[in-house]
Amino acid sequence: MASAASAAGHPVRQSSFGMLFISAIGVVFGDIGTSPLYAMKEVFAGPHPLPVDRLHVLGVLSLVFWTVLLVVSLKYVAIIMRADNDGEGSSFAMLALLQRTLANRPKLLTIAGSLGVFAAALFYGDSAITPAISVLSAVEGLQVAAPELAQWAVPLAIAILVLLFTVQSKGSAAVGGLFGTIMIVWFVLLAVLGISNIGQAPGVLAALSPHWAIMFIANDGWIGFLALGSVVLAVTGAEALYADMGHFGRLPIRLAWYLLVWPALILNYFGQGAMLLTRPEAAVNPFFLMGPTWAALPLVVLATAATIIASQAVISGAFSVTRQAIQLGYLPRMEIIHTSEREIGQIYIPFVNWALMVAVVALVIGFGNSMNLAAAYGVAVTGTMLITTTLVSMLAFNHWGWRGIWAWGLVILLLCVDIAYFMATATKITHGGWFPLAAGIAAFLVMTTWKQGRLLVQAKLRENALPVVEFLGSLSERVSRVPGTAVFLTAETEGVPLALLHNLKHNHVLHERVVLLTVKVEAVPRVPADQRITAEALREDIFRVIVRYGFMEDPDVPKALANARRADLGFDYEPMRFSYFLTRETVVPGADSGMAPWRGHLFSFLSRSATRTADFFQLPVNRVVELGGHVEI
């Protein structure tokens, strides 16, 4: 989903290709790279275990191979990564791209908007369950390495996860360089373990033929269909390839996938299958039984490190998608802390961090083991994949110009695969799959409520706003003028800000220079410096200034004004003579607000809980004046 690259903090334009390649392996592939820990175990020892015989082992391996080929190698790496918004990926990046592409098709744009927001919302459910299942499945290797310590798996997993969330405020720059190295070792180990076991039963390679998958489904019917809900665990984390494209670039991610990650994963899955053909009893924990007995404990340690890295990437991704949602107007302002002076992607959002920690710990305690968690895993993932395919199809036909039978055939094939896996995982809803789905629905309701509420507030403010021309005509020469520059922040580019009217009404003064300033977030990741500011002189002492940012940028109004040329602004920036006036809106739901009463009260609560405007726009606190105002919607 959204970018997790802040875990490593390596923006594309600041790092060498080799470093991008290594960092991509460490961050982008953490989730999908740890799937071998639990995917095969879930198939052959989960709630709907399959018989460990030749038909089922080869059938499952064939499904894994062709699913990874179609979903990851073809759909995400070859097709979806073409859908970059100025180099950026993620659901919000694609949504912003579609807003420009479908500008003349409002109905289709509305559908795309709802789907894009819901895909982003589902990521929060995935963000909670991924660290829980990854870390827990790794420490459960103690059942093989040190059975006497098996009862400590859950407490140890909780301790690791709590520590991981606790150190988030420090940033991950200090250890980010290790991520790639550790994950390269991890993928090499996956390949080595796989090859050594394939050598014991080379006949397992027959599963490369799709006829084994067809025979398996035809033979098992409904049970075979349910098995798809476990097979899909092999592709969880595929969305990260697209989400992290802006930080690492398309080429490093593609090369890392094709040259190392994909071969290592397939070799390991086939190695597990080969072992099951010779040792069916190993189905209880096939991954940790692949190596020699003496290597079990080191394998647990390395697997735990790999799952911590995967969890870090998902947590950082939650921070990133939250920032994008705030910038695009889908979430209220929150405190965003930068943990690195060098890397803009290194951010920390306290509310998201602690909310995720509570959810993750509750999942570990509530489900108790990775097998139960796996039974709940996949609903949010397959839902996001289905939405992504739908959105990229809209883009392909409306922007890329895809035409002909081949285009429709490819889209239908990918949609059929996604629908099959989504329906299979939907059967998990009653077994815990409701949690990520409920988290996604809750996040979607919050996002859409905030978006709709802000539109209603802005409409009400525009309705009641005094036109600038009328205001200028009403200014009397008898109004007292005071030295300095007053900057009135307003969300609108028309009319007079409420704070300016209140200031005149109560203080009966007007500064010698007045600036009506609006911050706008464009549907692009970043706005070039020469397009940051536009200014218009309404008269010689009153100016309207618009400061533009991309949805991947953090607004810093004083810095933007300081960097602007006098020719751009029309006046000199003198920070010690600037005072910032803000309207602190108190939203009151009306009898006919245009939204359901419960949503009106939710919006009012969110509005009261939002971070102060002064903090969000990084205004100097000793130069800010806030004036209150009621807005009834």
The residue assigned the tokens 């010689």 is: 540
Q: List all residues 6 or more positions away from 306 whose beta carbon is below 8 Å from its beta carbon.
A: 30, 33, 34, 138, 182, 183, 186
The predicted pLDDT at position 9 comes to 39
Domain count, the chain: 2
Stretches in the chain below the pLDDT threshold 50: 1-14, 174
Tens digits of per-residue pLDDT, 128-187?
Answer: 888 999 999 999 888 887 888 778 889 999 999 999 999 888 765 545 557 888 999 999
The predicted pLDDT at position 125 comes to 86
Burial of 345 (0-12, 13-18, 19+ CB in 10 A): buried
The number of helix segments (H) and strand segments (E) in the chain equals 27, 8
Among 136, 139, 37, CA closest to 362: 136
Q: Is residue 495 part of a domain?
A: yes
Q: Is residue 385 part of a domain?
A: yes
For residue 447, give both structure tokens. 């996002």
Q: Are 408 and 81 in contact (CB under 8 A)?
A: no
Q: Is residue 245 part of a domain?
A: yes
In the chain, the N- to C-terminal Cα span, in Å, equals 34
Q: Are 197 and 164 in contact (CB under 8 A)?
A: no
Q: List all residues 6 or more positions away from 340 whose beta carbon is below 8 Å from its beta carbon.
A: 9, 171, 173, 346
Q: Is residue 236 part of a domain?
A: yes
CA 188 to chain centroid, in Å, comes to 28
Among 401, 323, 394, 453, CA closest to 110: 394
Q: Is residue 15 part of a domain?
A: yes
Same domain, 446 and 469: no
Provide the residue range defining the domain that includes 371. 5-451
The predicted pLDDT at position 405 comes to 94
| Kind plus residue range of the DSSP H or E element containing 23 | helix 17-27
Same domain, 264 and 288: yes
Same domain, 477 and 520: yes
CA atoms within 13 A on the CB side of 26: 25
**Alpha-carbon gap, residue 143 to 137, rounded angstroms:** 11
Q: Is residue 580 part of a domain?
A: yes
Last residue of a domain, one of 418, 451, 484: 451
Same domain, 435 and 525: no
Same domain, 368 and 510: no
Tell me the whole-structure pTM to 2 decimals: 0.84
**Alpha-carbon gap, residue 190 to 193, rounded angstroms:** 5
Q: Is residue 67 part of a domain?
A: yes
The predicted pLDDT at position 8 comes to 38
For residue 475, give both structure tokens. 């200014």
The residue assigned the tokens 């533009």 is: 548
In angstroms, the Cα distances linking 236 to 34, 133, 421, 563, 596 are: 9, 12, 12, 44, 36
Same domain, 248 and 295: yes
The residue assigned the tokens 């390495």 is: 145
Q: Are 244 and 3 in contact (CB under 8 A)?
A: yes
Same domain, 483 and 439: no
| Kind plus residue range of the DSSP H or E element containing 561 | helix 557-563
The predicted pLDDT at position 5 comes to 42
Same domain, 433 and 483: no
Same domain, 416 and 514: no
Q: What is the CATH number of the domain that holds 89?
A: 1.20.1740.10
Tens digits of per-residue pLDDT, 73-107?
Answer: 999 999 999 888 877 788 888 888 888 888 888 88
DSSP per residue over 493-551, as a string?
SSS--HHHHHHHHHH-EEEEEEEEEEEEEESSS---GGGSEEEEEEETTEEEEEEEEET
Planar angle of CA 348, 524, 7, nearest 5 degrees: 25
The predicted pLDDT at position 10 comes to 39
Helix, strand, coil abundance in the chain, percent, nearest 5: 65, 10, 20
Q: Quick one: CA dihedral 241, 246, 250, 255, positive or negative? A: negative
Q: Are 433 and 448 in contact (CB under 8 A)?
A: no
| Kind plus residue range of the DSSP H or E element containing 69 | none
The residue assigned the tokens 């991950």 is: 172
The predicted pLDDT at position 15 comes to 54
Among 137, 135, 123, CA closest to 163: 135
Same domain, 171 and 193: yes
Same domain, 153 and 230: yes
Q: Is residue 357 part of a domain?
A: yes
Q: Are 252 and 13 in contact (CB under 8 A)?
A: no
Same domain, 369 and 296: yes
Q: Within 10 A of 361 (CB to CB), how many other CB atoms are there?
A: 18
Q: Are 342 and 171 in contact (CB under 8 A)?
A: no
**Alpha-carbon gap, residue 357 to 132, rounded angstroms:** 10
**Alpha-carbon gap, residue 262 to 36, rounded angstroms:** 12
Phi, psi of 582 (to 5 degrees): -125, 150
- Partner residues linked to 550 by β-bridges: 522
The predicted pLDDT at position 2 comes to 43
For residue 287, give both structure tokens. 């991954």
